[in-house]
Amino acid sequence: MRMRKLWTKAGVLGSVSMAFGSMFWSQKKTETTQTGSTTACTEPPSPYELKLVQVLFRHGARTPLKSIPDVMEAQWVPNLLEPPAHTHINYVVTDLEGGPRPSSPVEDSYRANILSGGTYPGQLTTVGMQQLYELGERLRKRYIKDTAFLNPTFSPTEVYVRSTNIVRTIESAKCLVAGLFQQSQSDMVSILTTEAESEILYPNYHGCRLLKHLSGHRWAESSTLPDIAADLRSIQSALGIAGHQRVDFILIRDDMVARETHGLPCPPILDSWRNTVEQRAVEMICHIYEPSKRENLQLCVGPLFHTLMGNIEDHLQGTTSESKRKLFLYSAHDTTLMPCLMALGVFDMQWPPYAADITLELHQHRQTKEAFVKVSYIGKDQLIPGCSGVYCPLQEFKQAFSNYSLTSELYESLCNRTESMADP
């Protein structure tokens, strides 16, 4: 079993020795402990009572955002996008106040291009829909079958669903809800979105001027770092990509993993480059987010962290209708999960696979009534730095979270600046 590596400053841009394979979401089967040969052990009741669950997850498998230029083309045909019948639910997409869905310039930019085969970039595929359905089934086992925490029928008073305003994340949310509740619903499922300028479910370079000032240039810059640039020249030559073509390891990885996930052919030369592609793509994203600089990560995740903590505090106070909710679902991206994992101190230097999830559970000790937060990533419990245990006392968790959390007012104030507080 791979040991989890805690995030350390020294590991940010250094060489990553571990090999990276293409990662796919899979569900680990729960093993039943038995005594003798026939009788299963009865686990003692947990001293912790579950009170609230928040799940931040990546969308499922999709068509690539761009194809690797000058190499054999994969055929991204429309029948790769057929939704399985068991993923259908009755749902509506609205803005955060329940009004019409806002326009989506990001989605419009995808629709301006067509991949070989006739589909658009960034579209959720049948494989991706099934991945999210299975994530929903995993949540169903934990929160409906094993613990009876949730009602087996969807109810909007119990479950809140929010997505970035992009079709693949909206459809991913729909498929997760279908798997979680097996298409059983007492009411329409509302999937809430917001306009691009105010999106908090990914680092918002468009809506935050200071973030764009601090990190916008680092996307292009990351490909020019000496070791990365040398490997990039070598792989371009090996693949026969013309020197004038603009490619980077993130693009190559995205297309490579999308092809492999759907059983489409890859250039054979990529087999020998797989580990390097994974390693360099992660090193690029570390350069972009600069986790060693607190301000950058604050601007990437601050409003989202504030929202997650606000949901916890609302539930504990129990003074609003929102506080009655038991489950908050947030459908987002790999570029959401990575800075969140970095800020939590548990990024393992591996690219989050399709349908990866970060889950925050609020618990209350049955005897002391003390509140605890437990964080898991892809089903594995995480020990957050600054916490005295996996079940993290709420005050310790709030302290760890407060290093990066930003109120909407403070976030807006910082974003309107054109230079960093750390600038000379």
Catalytic positions: 59, 334
CB atoms within 10 A of CB 86: 14
- In 59-143, DSSP assigns E strands to 91-95
Torsion from C-alpha of 225, 228, 232, 234, nearest 10 degrees: 120
Phi, psi torsion values for 339, nearest 5 degrees: -65, -30
Report the C-alpha gap between 141 and 148 in whole angstroms: 9
d(CA 372, CA 314): 15
Could you please report the per-residue DSSP string of 204-219?
A: -TTT-HHHHHHHTTHH
> What span, in angstroms and rounded, lies between the C-alpha atoms of 235 and 244?
14
> Residue 209: exposed, middle, or buried by beta-carbon count in 10 A (0-12, 13-18, 19+)?
middle
Instruction: Tell me the residue length of the chain.
Output: 424
**Residue 114, both tokens:** 């067509």
Q: Give the residue among 398, 378, 377 at the shortest CA–CA distance from 387.
A: 398
Residue 123's nearest CA partner among 164, 62, 75 is 62
- Pick from 163, 160, 255: nearest CA to 202: 163
Q: How far is CA 215 from the centre of its chain?
A: 20
Reduced to 3 states (helix: H, G, I; strand: E, B; else coil), residue 87 is helix
Interatomic CA distance for residues 310 and 128, integer angstroms: 31
Rounded Cα distance, 323 and 328, in Å: 11
Phi/psi at 127 (5° precision): -60, -45
| Separation of alpha carbons 338 and 403, rounded Å | 17
Say if CB 172 and CB 59 are below 8 A apart.
Answer: yes
